[in-house]
Amino acid sequence: MFNPDGPFETVDLEPLPALRALLKESRIALPPDAPPMSAGVFGYMGYDMVRLMEDLPAPNKDVIGLPDSMLIRPTIMAIFDSVKDDVTVVTPVYPEGDVSAKAAYARAMERLAYVVEALDRPLDHGMMGRADAPPIGEP
């Protein structure tokens, strides 16, 4: 699992119980008009994950070493709705042990303001795709 204070952290659970725990921890109440993926977990589950649910013959040897699954719970998302022709920027606010709800909400509003302002700026097409392009950064 990703840890914002470092790279990844491991959990002492089998993959499916770990996924269930992450999904349970990710459930939050959403405003009625929020897109359903506003508090989602995204990524992929490889074909061989089925072996965790069904007793199947051993797979071929993994010569590439790809993970069976890779999932993320984004801090901020821009959700594009081509039917309504709009973009909704969301940042889920999850409970944190030592952070008050008011402080967590204020931090979320800072993130949203930063991203909305960045989306409103014109693109510098001269820097697109260049290795020396400055990082986007965080508020």
Please report the DSSP string for 54-100 in residue order: S--PPPPP-SS---SEEEE--S-EEEEETTTTEEEEE-----BTTB-
pLDDT at 44: 87
Q: Band of the pLDDT at 136, cuts 50, 70, 90?
A: low
Quick check: is 113 in a domain?
yes
Question: Would 91 be classed as within a structural domain?
Answer: yes
Does residue 1 have a pLDDT over 80?
no
| 98 vs 1, higher pLDDT | 98
Asked whether residue 24 is assigned to any structural domain, the reply reads yes
The tally of domains found in the chain comes to 1
Specify if 103 maps to a domain. Answer: yes
Does residue 114 sit within a domain? yes
Confirm whether 7 is domain-assigned.
no
Q: Is the pLDDT of residue 124 over 80?
A: no
**pLDDT at 41 (0 to 100):** 86
